[in-house]
Amino acid sequence: MKLPNIKILDESNKILRQVSKEVTFPLDKETKKLINDSLDYLEMSQMDEYIEKYDLRAGMGLSFVQIGILKRIFVISEELEEGFNRYILINPKVISRSEELIYVGEGEGCLSVNRPVDGIVPRHARLTVEAYDIDGNKFTIRVREDIAIAFQHELDHLDGILFVDRIDKNNPYKNKEFMREI
């Protein structure tokens, strides 16, 4: 498998701080290809042989803004025992979120943040999102735990927010006792 030509922007790039624009349908061929290339890239970044061969950092989600395109599109590829589960969300909107807060114990990471970051990012344990698929069909999806965190991380990207912005600078582990670690 050949690594798709995906160039991920570093956090220093000001584009990452911009709000992405709504997408209109039908999608052009180039956008559809980029969606699939992004998913292929993410999957390869989670496979040892490609991590080593192409010197990749593992990632499970990617927003179009991270590749310099201000469109409200993000993709997630969740590694399962029998392969990958692909999520494509276009023009996503949060319908509801749980009151329960969770955080990633070892800390969140981001393909655009190439440095270690201490602290916890409060996230909702469950999320319901309305979005469109690659063909313009509206759907609703309910996610929980690690996938809910990934969705919130990517939704933030679409609004120009990086996970590091959600960590309290003065107290990186603030209110940890009121959240559940996953």
Judge whether residue 133 has pLDDT over 90. yes
Q: Which amino acid is at 118?
A: D
**Residues noted as catalytic:** 154
Judge whether residue 170 has pLDDT over 90. yes
Range of the domain at 61: 14-181
Residue 152 pLDDT:
98
Residue 112 lies in a domain: yes
Residue 5 lies in a domain: no
pLDDT in tens, 34-92: 999 999 999 999 999 999 999 999 999 999 999 999 999 999 999 999 999 999 999 99
pLDDT in tens, 83-99: 999 999 999 999 999 99
Band of pLDDT at residue 1, cut at 50, 70 and 90: confident
Which CATH number covers residue 153?
3.90.45.10
Q: Are 118 and 107 in contact (CB under 8 A)?
A: yes
Q: Which of 75, 169, 161, 67 is nearest to 123 (CA)?
A: 161
Q: Are 46 and 60 in contact (CB under 8 A)?
A: yes
Total domains, the chain? 1
